Structure 1
Amino acid sequence: MSQSTVKTAQSSGLFIWTAEHLKAATAQLKGQWIGLETTDNERLTATRIITDTRKIEPGDIYLAIVGEKFDGHSFVEAAVDKGAVAVIISQPVADLGVPQLQVEDTRLAFGQIAAYRRQQHPNLKVIALTGSSGKTTVKEMLRHIFTQVEGAHSFEQNTTLVTRGNLNNDFGVPMMLLELEQQHRYAVLELGANHVGEIAYTAAMVKPDVACILNIGTAHLGEFGGRDNIAKTKAEIYQPLTEASTAVVPFDDDYTQQLTAAAKKYTSNVSHFGWQQLEGAKLPEVYATEVKTTALQSRFKLHFSKEATEVEVTLPMSGEHNVSNALAAAACAYAAGITTEVIASGLSQATSSKGRLGRQTLGKHQIIDDTYNANPNSMRAAADVLAAQTGYKILVLGDIGELGEASRDEHNKLGQAIAKNSVDLLLCAGEFAKDTVAGAKSQGMQQAYDFDTKAELLPKLQAVLTEHNEQQQSCTLLFKGSRSTTMETLIDDLLSAEG
């Protein structure tokens, strides 16, 4: 990278990686340069470290990740051909022509490099989130809150880094950290887990100032073998906290006491959020009263016990679960030093992302797209949202994945819960559709039908809509299922048939 290019990158807020930076970052993995001359040591600079050769551009550094089903070392030569100026490997490649940083384990090196990158931002406020549901919504709420902070609303610079999509594992979190730029003042990072120890690993990497658990549900129940293990795994997010940090804990959760105890091992600054169980003498630090939810929004008074203050919030999202999400976002932002007025302003402008209760019309009918993902808790919350709507209410569900041996029982319980709500018609597709419908019918819901596939469900749905069109009646349809079920394709089929 030429001096002029370096200056341009620095003025743009990009971090400049040097050979010394990378050696220091990988010291624990015995990082040593091969084929690096003294002159190269001074000249070797880059702004990007890339793990996918398809994204390599001239001047990048290539990191050869080794996974269960692939080995990035197979693409080292291709990376150099595309312009990589150096590579990070565990197995040196002969006659490569560019410097090679050899480390003991490239995947661990990725994490070490990301942790080093985080350390270059001592003034960055980092909020780490985990939980069984609501993470994406809370991320977006925090993004809107931080946008309201003075200076950030100019949009001239993006001052907040927020996890994209599902980049929340031991590979995705480092990818996000490597996107940090000098203008970032806040980072909202989601930490997920498929196994015990994964959140401990990523939390140590991001070193959060505020660590929040949203809830302990039954997502990934089959992988962890029970909610107790889920709670223990989620609580790993508190491990890197210090007395200067804040742990945010749900007040309304079955595991509130356990999570509070886990957090207090690392910091005395523990903040609770909630609103449904406020009978006791002790109130959470952030709570809501006078909650009113409608088909399109939620109104409530947002209280901060520490200051004994309250602000009015009109949240442009429906559903009681989104009130809880807003409280979590408020608690995190407050712990990060944001004023109560700014928090309320940010929440009033928060919007759902695609597949998260998004709305569109189909003739006189309303479609609610909540297809991004699903777990038992979010399925019940979706049914509550639908129950608050107008017209004939149709709930279209796919299976919930990753429940293991509890799958049939959880789907049956889901059906029972739906039957107790104001839903007119339940249509389910998938392996466990029969279990959901059986649960609904056991509680007296007759208009519930199961189908093996979405293709079999579609004609029934179209027939119902045709019938209501003929009767000049409007319907509200809510679609939801785990990501693997791609329930959004049903919405596409309906819209394309209408077009």
Structure 2
Amino acid sequence: MIEMTAAQIAQVTGGRTVGGAEERPAVEHVTTDSREARPGTLFVAKPGEVTDGHEYVGAALAAGAVLALAEREVRDAAGAVYPAVLVPDVVEAMGRLAAWTVAQLRAEHGLTVVAVTGSVGKTTTKDLLKGVLGAEGPTVAPRGSYNGEVGVPLTVFEADARTRYLVVEMGATRIGNIDYLCRMVRPDIGIVLCVGSAHAGEFGGVANIARAKGELVEALGADGVAVLNDDDPAVRLMHARTAAPVVFFGESPENTQPEVPAARVHASGVRLGPGGSPEFTLHLPDGSAHPVRSRLIGEHHVSNLLAAAAAAFVAGVAPERIAASLSAQGPASRWRMERTERADGVTVVNDAYNANPQSMRAALQTLAQLGRGTAGAPARRTWAVLGGMHELGETTVEDHDALGRMVVRLNISKLVAVGELARPVYDAAQLEGSWGNEATWVASAEEAEEILRHELAPGDIVLFKSSNAAGLRLLGDRVAAAGGPAHQDPAPPNDAPARGDHWRSAGPFVNAPLAAGEERP
């Protein structure tokens, strides 16, 4: 991050210094987790639902932190006040510091900010962009799914004077969230992937989700670029909500709305390779065409690959370098179609970081495709271990019911529905296919694990898919390890969301002093 003194932090946040804060060294690192404190750290004492960061100020300073950002004074055992900048709201203050940081880096070092939103695919697209842009210059992108009002500032604070590209993932749980983040980082390129029904219950309907996601393109100026999914009708219409030029991406060669003056990125010849990875020809706005053979699993990733290609092209990356990078990249974040080949011949696909009807359907289609085999390999038995999808609102039962019917229609061999929320998946499968023992419902992940321990056989492919709260990602890890994994796609050891990432409505970034001239859906 940009080094900042306590006096500068107080000025930017509107806070005041206590405990001799102005005599402390400049900070060069920010964290909300006292366990990550090191020399030069600013520890943000963020109150949370379970614990209060103010209780860990002493531990953070003992670990090397030089300063705290806090909402009240904290004292040591002798009664001395710890050095801190006091503000009314530490999360709002983080946003002010992030806005100031981005403004400084843009004005003084030419930083380019790329923002990604959508109901599905944000993290994969962010990871792909980090790979493509990182080969061009120093690039900062979120750890895991840091995409809220805490996670986005923590991502920004990783950038410094050397950073050329900042990739920001933006999630939302209500209208105004993405607008808040956009006023924080002022994106130059904005990508909208899709509008799905994830968290429709919180938003009050899919129309409000589209309204929220469109806040990203509304925030772009005429000197920015909106990258929009032409295959999604709700996203396609967002061209009318932005002053920025538009680049559409999709699988067809022509824009669905030819009257809209927009460049286009598209794929032709899409097919799945033997391991279930998509292969296609990438067509870019300069008329060039390039083969892409992705290492991701599932045809649904074509849209994410096209989105990353479009944004990278807008950022000035050479076409052949875009295609080469997309072909070289595999999964970079945990629990997103993460494939493990066990030594006993069982294949585990762990996609249980998050779930909604759209991502569930894509994962099941991929499982079915993997199980069909190829000319050189036999068909394989397939297992779908499915947990509940949370926060769908009034369509919850209907959406789970549809999944159960889809499992049968795709001829997936075995279904294990886990948890009360997923019971309609089991019921619908029974009604659709009269499977008898082919479909099972269990109350817990432990019961599912017992079934798999006894019934998985060499050659089986097992998919784990659920919302994060169902915990099936951890079951998937245990099952992957049980057979002695022969190979697992590389991924970071952990990328859980920023602890305590939460939301407020609009923020005050217009008043923050600027330079002259964490699964959110």
Q: Same fold (TM over 0.5)?
A: yes
Name the CA distance, whole Å, in 2 between partners of 1:406 and 1:49.
41
Match of 2:409 in 1: 420
Q: Which runs of 4+ in 1 moved over 6 A?
A: none
Structure 1 counterpart of 2:92, from 91, 96, 108? 108
1:17 Cα deviation from its structure 2 partner: 0.8
User: In 2, Cα distance between the equivalents of 1:281 and 1:242?
Assistant: 22
CA contact (8 A) 1:396 1:480 kept: yes
Note closer, same or farther for the CA distance 1:290–1:194 as it changes in structure 2 (3 Å cut).
same
- Bigger mean CA offset, 45-54 vs 211-220: 45-54
Q: Name structure 1 gaps, 5 residues minimum.
A: 1-13, 153-158
Change (3 A) 1:255 1:492: closer
From 314, 337, 340, the counterpart of 1:357: 337
**Given the two structures, how large is their TM-score scaled by the length of structure 1?**
0.84
Matches within 5 A, 1:96-495: 96=80, 100-122=84-106, 123-149=110-136, 152=137, 159-262=138-241, 264=242, 267-275=243-251, 280=256, 282=258, 285-296=264-275, 297-304=277-284, 306-353=285-332, 354-362=334-342, 363-389=344-370, 390=373, 391-444=380-433, 446=435, 447-466=438-457, 474-494=459-479
User: How far apart are residue 327 of structure 1 and its match?
Assistant: 0.7
Q: In 2, distance between residues paired with 1:83 and 1:431?
A: 46
Mapped contact 1:126–1:187 kept (Cα < 8 A): yes
Moved more, 68-77 or 384-393: 68-77
Q: Over residues 387-432 of structure 1, what are the superposed CA-to-partner deviations in whole Å (9 max), with x where a residue is unaligned? A: 1113122222122222233221110112222332242222211113
How many angstroms apart in 2 are the aligned matches of 1:482 and 1:233? 21
Using a 3 Å threshold, how does the CA distance of structure 1 residues 55 and 319 change in structure 2: closer, same or farther? Answer: closer
Cα offset, 1:279, TM superposition: 8.5
Helix, strand or coil at the partner of 1:290: strand
* Shift in Å, 1:349: 0.7
The answer on whether the counterparts of 1:294 and 1:388 sit within 8 Å (CA) in structure 2 is: no
For 2:27 and 2:451, the matched residues in 1 are separated by: 57
Give the distance between the partners of 2:143 and 2:463, measured in 1 at CA: 25
CA contact (8 A) 2:98 2:184 kept: yes
Which amino acid is the alignment partner of residue 475 of structure 1? D
**Residues 240 and 392 of structure 1, relative CA distance in 2, 3 Å threshold:** same
SS in 2 for 1:385: helix
| 1:25 corresponds to which of 12, 29, 33 | 12
1-structure distance, mates of 2:32, 2:80: 18
User: 8 Å contact 1:140–1:351 — kept in the other structure?
Assistant: no
Return the alpha-carbon distance in structure 2 between the equivalents of residues 461 and 106 of structure 1. Answer: 46
Code of the residue aligned with 2:340 in structure 1: it is Q
The range that moved more, 281-290 or 236-245, is 281-290
| 1:200 aligned partner, one-letter code | D
Residue type of the alignment partner of 1:125: T
Q: CA deviation at 1:63?
A: 3.3
Give the deviation of 1:127 after TM superposition.
0.9
> Between Structure 1 and Structure 2, whose CA radius of gyration is higher?
1
Task: Provide the residue aligned with 2:492 in structure 1.
Answer: none
For 2:2 and 2:301, the matched residues in 1 are separated by: 37
Q: In terms of mean alpha carbon deviation, does 484-493 or 347-356 score higher?
A: 484-493
Q: Which has the higher contact order (CA 8 A, sep 6+)?
A: 2
Q: What is the alpha-carbon root mean square deviation over aligned residues?
A: 2.7
User: Number of paired residues?
Assistant: 462
Change (3 A) 1:96 1:219: same
1:251 CA drift (Å) = 0.7
Q: What is the CA-CA distance between 1:261 and the residue it aligns to?
A: 2.1
